[in-house]
Chain A
Amino acid sequence: MQSRTLSDDKLVELYLAGEESALGELLNRHKDRIYTYIYLFCRDTHTAEDLLQETFIKVIDKLRSGKYQEQNKFLPWISRVAYNLCIDYYRREKRMPKVVTRDGFDIFSVLKFSEPGAEGKVMDHEFSSRVRKLLEYLPEEQREVVVLRHYMDLNFREIAEMTGVNINTALGRMRYALINLRKLMETKNITI
């Protein structure tokens, strides 16, 4: 199967017909983008991987139950699944007590690096710390538009719909986010 040239919808069709490799190609195409989005949302490698897994398991279940009816909208569709899981996580997390010492040190940020098989995560951490330096200075609503546009590939109309604002608000947030990022790069001498 020359899966790399097939559309997402064709791969979905093949997958539902029993072609498991079609799922592999869909995953390969979209995993980094969705993972980056989720990571930038929750800012925790372990949680991001859990949420990525949960996203695709939900996608598999929904595909099999015939809940994907949209045409040529596979990425926005899985983006919405990931977004909803991130929102659920955020709501849960807000209720969960954090284990932070008196000087604000998050114990779990150290525990993550003692997990087995975490060597790949060290590079991930170095890279993502630069990302965080940039994005964490942004107000939440600006960061949200940035990650939805850049890493979920949603257009501004879709972002507006997903976040419940009008399109001019979404565009304005992106403009301010880009301007603020530029200022941050200059004043804090941060580059990715």
Chain B
Amino acid sequence: MIKTVTQDNLVRFIYGEISAEEASLIQEALTSDLELKELYDQLVESKAELDKIRLQPSQKVIDNILNYSRNSAPMEHLQ
């Protein structure tokens, strides 16, 4: 089954970039193909870890950007 559901399609499925028809074929394959299911579980676990990563810039940078916008606003927008 892993040959009919390509590994590239499995990646597209995990990231939600696949048609509904293809998705249902993959879902069906996952219930009957242990090798495919094992790969799927591995990929999903790594993806979940990556989704946890989120960094935040300092407020100073945000203020600099907003100040730039305010101080360089086109004349017609200034009251």
Contact = CB atoms under 8 A, between A and B. Distances in A.
B52 interface: yes
B65 to A, nearest CB: 4
* Range for the number of chain A residues in contact with chain B: 35 or more
Contact of A48 (B10, B11, B57): B57
Interface residues of B, number: 36
Contacts of A117: 58, 60
Interface in A28-71: 31-33, 35-36, 39-40, 48-49, 52-53, 56-57, 60, 64
Contacts of B65: 23, 27, 53, 56-57, 60
Interface string B29-51: 00000000000001101110111
A139 interface: no
Contact of A175 (B7, B53, B66): B7
A56 B69 CA distance: 9
If over half of A's interface residues share one DSSP class (helix, strand or loop), that class is named, otherwise mixed; here it is: helix
A182 B58 contact: no
B73 A31 contact: no
A31 B59 CA distance: 11
B7 to A, nearest CB: 6
Given A48-B57, A57-B68, A175 B43 contact: yes
A127 interface: yes
